Amino acid sequence: MGAGGLKLAADEGGDPAAPTVVLLHGGGQTRKSWGGAMRDLLKRGYHVINLDLRGHGDSAWSPEGDYSLRAYVEDLACVLDDLNAEPALVGASMGGATSLMYVGTQAGARARALVLVDIVPRINLNGALKIMEFMNSGALGFASLDEAAAAVSAYNPHRPHPEDHSGLMKNLRRRDDGRLYWHWDPKMLAEQERAEPPQFTKQLTEAAQGVRIPTLLVRGMQSDIVSEEGVTDLRRHVPQLEVWDVAGAGHMVAGDRNDAFNQGVFAFLERHLPPV
């Protein structure tokens, strides 16, 4: 359960007595985006919790339309309070911003290590606008799966796209009008304090100053969100920061280059939260 008893969906696997990794996806995504990473973490002996954030996937939609970063942080705190041990948090984009805010601002934050996937407090504004354009592009739904796939290709043209688009259905819902819609609450786009892309440069920067645990930034080298200036700025506030650059990957690092993503993340986890 999240804040206020909001129902959150999750996939859980592995021995609960093993070191735990909590996966948090980006805005407009679902827990399905972590499918490959979760399988590999389980093979390495970790206990994994893979969340659908509020308003996404199979988690409940906020009755009040509250998709503020504060709300996501409160949800995460509720989930972590139920764990027996402190986990590593692995968050992509919005999930990373949520994890950073939680670790840096919550008294007694329960986390052993932090992995930020292509997110820093000072993001590239043009890249942020591109994300919002993509999310808004599906506001009226799609007539077909091919139409939805074309929207993805327009946003992420450098990624190879399969001829079979059926895998996209895990991120779509068919509504009563027969059209396909992304698997998240459209009220997120009306949230003035939405967390994807982060509108909280000042708050995230202040949160970064409170991060004391081992921290890894995984950056897609073709990302239009994280710049060299953004990395330098984060390092000023988190001097223990480690950086893993993934060549040939954009903002959706794990989806673009899952093997290279896993290589950096697993090496980091094995140093700071080794599996049993």
The residue ranges of every structural domain in the chain are: 3-126+192-272, 128-187
- Residue that wins the pLDDT comparison between 198 and 234: 234
More reliable by pLDDT, 175 or 234: 234
Rounded Cα–Cα distance for residues 4 and 123 (Å): 31
Which pTM was predicted?
Answer: 0.90
- Give the model confidence (pLDDT) of 77-94 as tens digits: 999 998 989 999 999 999
Q: pLDDT at residue 181 above 90?
A: no
Q: What is the mean pLDDT of the chain?
A: 89
pLDDT tens figures, 116-174: 999 999 998 888 777 778 777 778 889 998 888 888 887 777 666 667 777 778 788 88
Tell me the mean pLDDT in the region 205-233. 93
- Identify the weakest region by mean pLDDT among 6-10, 111-115, 217-221: 217-221
Q: What percent of the chain has pLDDT over 90?
A: 58
Question: Does the pLDDT of residue 240 top 60, yes or no?
Answer: yes
CATH 3.40.50.1820 correct for 3-126+192-272 = yes
pLDDT tens per residue, range 26-49: 988 899 989 889 999 999 999 999
